[in-house]
Amino acid sequence: MNKSRVLVLGIAFVSAIGAALLAKNIVAQPETEKVVQTEFMNTTHVLVAAQPIKLGDMVSSGHFRWQKWPKDALNSNLIDQASHMNAKADYDKAIARSAFVPGEAINPRKFIKKGTGGIMAALLTSGMRAVSTKIKEETAAGGFILPDDHVDVILSRQIQGEGRGSKFVSNTILTNVRVLAIGQMIDPPKGKQTATGRTATLELSPGQAEILMLANQMGDVSLALRSLSKRTQGDGDSVTNLRGGKRDTVRMFKFGQKVRAFGM
C-alpha cells in the first residue's frame, strides 16, 4: 500500500470520528425552551392588602400595595391607581371594619377614615344602634359568647302573683341579635374560645334598644347563644316585640298571639 493511499484513509478515518462526535453532541443537546411572555395590555392597578389586616386595625400606607388588575373587572368596590393616586395616604390611620388577607382587593366601604367616627360606629350596620347591657359569666353562656356571635335576649323578673305571693317569670324579648363587643373586645381573641367582660354591646334597631333599656330596669337580662347554622329571623320559637299604647309597656307576641303585657 503506497503512502498516498494510507494518508487518504487516515484523513477519512479522522473525519468520520469528528462527524460522529459532532452528531452525538447535536443529539444530546436539549431543546431550547421557548418562553412566551404574555403582557396584558388592557390592565390597570388596584389597591390590595400587603399584609393581614384584622377587624378594628388602624392601618398605614405599609398595609397596602398596588397590583395589576383587568380593567374589565373594575367596579365601585375597588380603588384603582389611575383615579386614586394618593389612596395609600388617604387611608392612613383609617380603621378596618372587616378583616383582609394579603392580596385581597381593598373595598373602601370596609374602612372608616380618620375624623369620621369611632370604631364602634364603623362596625354598625346602617340604621342600627350599639347598646350595652350588663352581663355576668353565668348570664352570658359561660363566657363562650364572642364578638360577632348572634344571641337571644332573655328577661327574668319577679312579679306579684295572686294573693300575697310572688313568682319569677322569664321571657325572650329579642331574638337573633348580633354581638358587637364583649367588654371592650371587638374582635374574637386569637387562639381563645372564651371572652370575659362586664358588658355586652349589641347591635339593635331603635325600637329594640328601647325594649332592652326597659328590660334592664325590670329585671335580670341574660344572653342565649344561637347556632351558627341558624342566623335568620323566624327559625325556632321567634318572638316579635311591640311597644304598647301605655308608656313603658312592652307587649309580647308569639306566632301572632299575645302572650303577656307588662310594664313598669
Domain membership flag for residue 241: yes
User: Of 122, 150, 169, which closes a domain?
Assistant: 122
* Predicted confidence (pLDDT) per residue in 138-173, tens digit: 767 777 888 888 999 999 988 876 666 678 888 999
Question: In angstroms, rounded to a whole number, what is the distance separating the alpha carbons of residues 126 and 97?
Answer: 13
pLDDT band at 76 (very low <50, low <70, confident <90, very high): confident
Cell of 69: 388588575
Q: Looking at the structure, tell me whether residues 64 and 180 fall in a common domain.
A: no
Are 157 and 219 spatial neighbours (Cβ–Cβ below 8 Å)?
yes
- pLDDT above 90 covers what percent of the chain? 24
pLDDT tier at 212, thresholds 50, 70, 90:
very high
pLDDT digits (tens, 9 = 90+) for 222-261: 889 898 765 554 444 444 443 443 334 444 444 444 444 4
What is the CATH number for 100? 3.90.1210.10
In this prediction, residue 236 carries a pLDDT of 40
Determine the pLDDT at residue 119.
72
Higher-scoring residue by pLDDT: 173, 192: 173
- When pLDDT is averaged across residues 58-83 and rounded to a whole number, the result is 90
Of 88, 122, 156, which residue is a domain's last?
Answer: 122
Q: Helix (H, G, I), strand (E, B), or coil: what is residue 138?
A: helix
Q: What is the pLDDT of residue 238?
A: 40
What's the domain count of the chain?
2
Q: What is the pLDDT of residue 124?
A: 79
Look at residue 205 in the predicted model and tell me its pLDDT: 93
Amino acid at the residue 27: V
